[in-house]
Structures are given as C-alpha cells and as structure tokens.
Structure 1
Amino acid sequence: MLEEAILSGKLSHGDVLYPERDLAEHAQVSRVTVRKAIDHLVRDGFLVRRPGSGTFVARSACRVDQPMSRAVLLTEEIFWRGSNTEVEWMERSISHPAPEEMMTLGLSADNRVARFIRLRRSAGLALAIERTCISAEFLPDAVSVTASIYKALEDANVRPVRAIQRIFACNIQELDASMLGVTIEAAGLLTKRVAYLHSGRAVEFTRSLYRGDADAFVTSFTISEN
C-alpha cells in the first residue's frame, strides 16, 4: 500500500510517514508487520529514515508507465546484442518463502512458494541469474514448468495484467559471482519485478541479476490480448 501510494504520487518526495501505530491501525495489521514493510521500502530506496525526525519519502522514488487499455498477459524475453540467449534451469522446487518474498507476495511463513532459478547464457557465456517466486497456490507443481513461467500462469488461469520493475546498481556477491563467472564485488545490475493480477494481488516476484560487463542487452515485454 505504501509503495503504491509513493509510485502513484499520493506520497511525494519529502513527505513524512504517519506513525507506525496509525499505519498499523489503518491497514489492520500489527506494528511489527508495518515496521518490516518500512524496512523493506527503506532498503529499496523508497523511504529514508532520519534519526530524531522520522521516516520520509525518498527523492529517488520514480515511475515509468506504459499504459494498457485492456487486461493483458505479460511475457518477457531477454536478448543480448548480436545473439539470442539460452536458458539453463538451476532449480525448480517448492519451499517456504523468504522474508522479502513474504512481504512482496503477501504470504505468511506457513505458506509455500514455487521457486525457479534460471541461468541465462549467450554464446556460452553466463550473463544473468533469474530468481522467480510464485505462491504454490497458483503453481503447486514447480517441476512441471519447463518453458515459460508466464505461460504456466496463463494455463493455470492466473493472468498477470501489470508489473512494476525496479532497477538497482549492485556489487555481485560470492555465490552469484561463481555462477556468472565474474570476480566477487564485480559491478552488476539488479532488477526486481512484481507482477499483479487484475484484483491487485501480487502473483510473481522475480529478481534478475545481470553481470555489468555484458556488451549490451534488451529486455522485450510483449503482451497478448484476452
């Protein structure tokens, strides 16, 4: 709710956040949940804490929209300049959600999620790691997904109609550096995409980590009508 208010402009740069007690009462959740949500938004750059003053909307929060006139199905392909990519499945499993996944998808610790990890290569070179998390309520059999995750959601009659993607500069850490074949702390680009159903519920959370020394790449979003 807070993120949507910031992205829609209802909360703008410099606005101070209401006290946690008031936010908890408004959203009908515990103050612990509110505090975790605020921590999440601070970490992603939407909010900034100023000791002794409060929590404020950060200057960096911004939005780029491509309006859609009707409900659509999102799909995604990634291409590197001069070569299409190949996908290697690293993991397809059912497990409990991590804290960030719980906050993003509105799940509890008792829920289960379908977890997918894919390594994208171009001309044999590892260029990106994609980690996708979807509630097992929608995809209870992760192993059966062998091609497009969005196609699997469509087959399950769970069609995302919009997505928000955030982009961050980062340094690649040990495990990911090993998978991508780069040095630890090498420059990288991290994207976090959340896809939503028509009802507004978040259905998919994907984190994609790209190595920073790739020549160039293009992310192509396509849509198919109802």
Structure 2
Amino acid sequence: MAEVSDSFFGSEPVIVPTGGPLYLQLKRWIEGAITRGDIKPGDALPSERDLAMRVDVSRVTVRKAVQQLVKDGIVIQRHGSGTFVAPRTPRVEQSLSQLTSFTEDMARRGMSVRSQWLDRGVYVPSPEETIVLGLSSGDRVSRIARLRLTGETPLAIERATLSTAVLPDPSVITTSLYAHLEKSGNRPVRAIQRIRAANLDEAEAHLLAVPAGSAGLYIERISYLATGKVVEFTRSVYRGDAYDFVAELRIGDSSAQGSGQL
C-alpha cells in the first residue's frame, strides 16, 4: 500500500479541484490521478484513513467521494480487501450513418466478439411488436436476445424481433443475424434508430458487469427492406462507458441550398 500511496499522492502538496461540494472535489481529484496513470487498473486506492489525513478532509467526505466513484464504475470495492481501480473498458466508436450488424462492426475494428444467448424462441407478439412489424392476427414472432461481449467484457444487451415469415427458426442464428438474413434476401437496407440515455436497472447492470444505476444507452431500431417493409425490430442496451456514437452532419445539398432550404 505504501508504494501505491506514494505514486498516488506524489511529493507535492495535495490540491483538490475547487467548485461544488467537497466530496465531489475529492472525487474529481482521484479521477485525475487515475486518468494520469498515477494508479492503474487493479491498483488499490489508499485507505480511507490515509486519504482523509493526506487531503485534510473528514473520513465521511472520503467515503462519499469513493461511493460516487463506485457508482460511476471508476473503482470497485471488494469486501475485506479494499477499493481498487476498475479495469478499463475498451471504447467502441460506432457510426450512425452505416447499417451494420454488431458482428460486422467489431470485425471492422479487429475486435473479437462473442455472444451469450439469453433467449431464442418463437412467441405470440406483443401489441407493440404487432404494430411495428405490421403483423396480422395469428402471426408469430421469433425473438433472439443475447449479451454481446468482446473478450470477457460485456458491451451490450441486444433483443431482436422478426416475423416468423422472415425467420421461422431462431435457433439457426449462431453468429450474425444480418449475414443469415442476407442469404434469404431479407437483409435490411435502411433503418431508423432512436437513442436515449438512462440509468441501468439492476438486472441490466448485472449482465453488463457494472453497478446498478450506471449510465446506459437505450437504442430502438426499426429496419426496412428495399420494398419499405419492416423486417426487424431491435431494442438494445449499451454500456455508457463503452460506446461513442458518431454521425457525420452536412448542410443540405446544392439544390436545397439554392432554393434557400437549410
């Protein structure tokens, strides 16, 4: 612990960032030490007592700062062992201008990917699925739900629903859904995505290996064939600390600009 404390505190006086409650100032200071690499993933934080003494704050303030760090997934606490810097999650940059599968997306980045199946079956559609997929009375849907991982790190929970007319047997999907749909001529060519930020509930956080209440991205995607028919309805949950969504934005084309449209 002495070595970690030395590298953490350094030889200079400790000056925490100003502004806001004292425990948040201390939290930002600890985050800065982690970002600079003063302590690395897997390293233990100095004890609550050491932090309080060296920074000259109360142990209550230290405890609140550490609790906030735990909530944000920056550190983890092990009962009887202490508080440790959490492993760094690889960030994935995903374009919002291309319609690709998760498998294709990871392959383009040279990242290995695997799935943990959560569900694969044929069901009576929910009212929402019936409306979105344009189903008739008596139609059934195939649902596939899986936890997406790179290495041992879970990145997303993906739940896709398709009409059984498109996917009669969901058990045939072993890797890429889009690769299978391409073989049958049912690969979507465009999609509409809605993204919202929210805190992960306990079940989602457990699957994604982060504390409950951590930041998450909820994505609903409706995918279409060239004919305009809806082929896929997907609802996914992504770890907020693992994904960056990027979109290229342009002012309208020359004809739009010429007509005064922006």
The two structures have a TM-score, normalised by structure 1, of 0.58
- Of residues 98, 114, 119, the one that matches 1:86 is 114
Q: How far is the alpha carbon of 1:75 from its aligned partner?
A: 3.4
- Of residues 126, 130, 135, the one that matches 2:154 is 126
The answer for the alignment partner of 1:102 in structure 2 is: 130
Structure 1 residue 75 corresponds to structure 2 residue 100: yes
The answer for the alignment partner of 1:114 in structure 2 is: 142
Match runs of 1:50-69 below 5 Å = none
Structure 1 residue 158 corresponds to structure 2 residue 181: no
Higher helix share: 2
Instruction: Report the secondary structure of 2:180's partner residue.
Output: helix
Q: How far is the alpha carbon of 1:218 from its aligned partner?
A: 6.4
Any conservation in 1 of the 2:115–2:148 contact (CA below 8 Å)? Answer: yes
Instruction: Report the secondary structure of 2:101's partner residue.
Output: strand
For residues 174-217 of structure 1, give each alpha carbon's deviation from its aligned partner in whole angstroms, at most 9, with x where no partner exists: 32222112233321001111110122111001111111222x45
Q: CA RMSD in A?
A: 2.9
For residues 99-127 of structure 1, give each alpha carbon's deviation from its aligned partner in whole angstroms, at most 9, with x where no partner exists: 32222212246321111111111230212
Which amino acid in structure 2 is aligned with residue 155 of structure 1?
A: K
The answer for the alignment partner of 1:192 in structure 2 is: 220
Which amino acid in structure 1 is aligned with residue 192 of structure 2?
A: I
Match runs of 1:161-172 below 5 Å = 161-172=189-200
CA radius of gyration, larger in? 2
Structure 1 residue 173 corresponds to structure 2 residue 198: no
Any conservation in 1 of the 2:96–2:245 contact (CA below 8 Å)? Answer: no
**Inter-partner Cα distance in structure 2 for 1:190 and 1:170:** 7
Q: How far is the alpha carbon of 1:82 from its aligned partner?
A: 8.5
For residues 37-65 of structure 1, give each alpha carbon's deviation from its aligned partner in whole angstroms, at most 9, with x where no partner exists: xxxxxxxxxxxxxxxxxxxxxxxxxxx99
Instruction: Report the secondary structure of 1:75's partner residue.
Output: coil
Any conservation in 1 of the 2:101–2:177 contact (CA below 8 Å)? Answer: no
The answer for the alignment partner of 1:209 in structure 2 is: 237
| Structure 2 gaps, min length 5 | 1-94, 247-262
- C-alpha spacing 1:126/1:106, structure 2 compared with 1 (3 Å): same
The two structures have a TM-score, normalised by structure 2, of 0.50
Instruction: Report the secondary structure of 1:182's partner residue.
Output: coil
Percent same amino acid at aligned positions?
A: 45
* Count of aligned pairs between the two proteins: 150
**Inter-partner Cα distance in structure 1 for 2:149 and 2:237:** 13
Which amino acid in structure 2 is aligned with residue 123 of structure 1?
A: G
| Structure 1 gaps, min length 5 | 1-63, 68-73, 220-226
Q: How far is the alpha carbon of 1:85 from its aligned partner?
A: 2.9
**Inter-partner Cα distance in structure 2 for 1:160 and 1:82:** 24
The answer for the alignment partner of 2:57 in structure 1 is: none
- C-alpha spacing 1:146/1:84, structure 2 compared with 1 (3 Å): closer
- C-alpha spacing 1:93/1:183, structure 2 compared with 1 (3 Å): same
Match runs of 1:135-150 below 5 Å = 135-150=163-178
Which amino acid in structure 1 is aligned with residue 209 of structure 2?
A: G
Deviates more, 1:203-212 or 1:77-86: 77-86
Deviates more, 1:182-191 or 1:101-110: 101-110
**Inter-partner Cα distance in structure 1 for 2:196 and 2:122:** 28
**Inter-partner Cα distance in structure 2 for 1:196 and 1:128:** 22
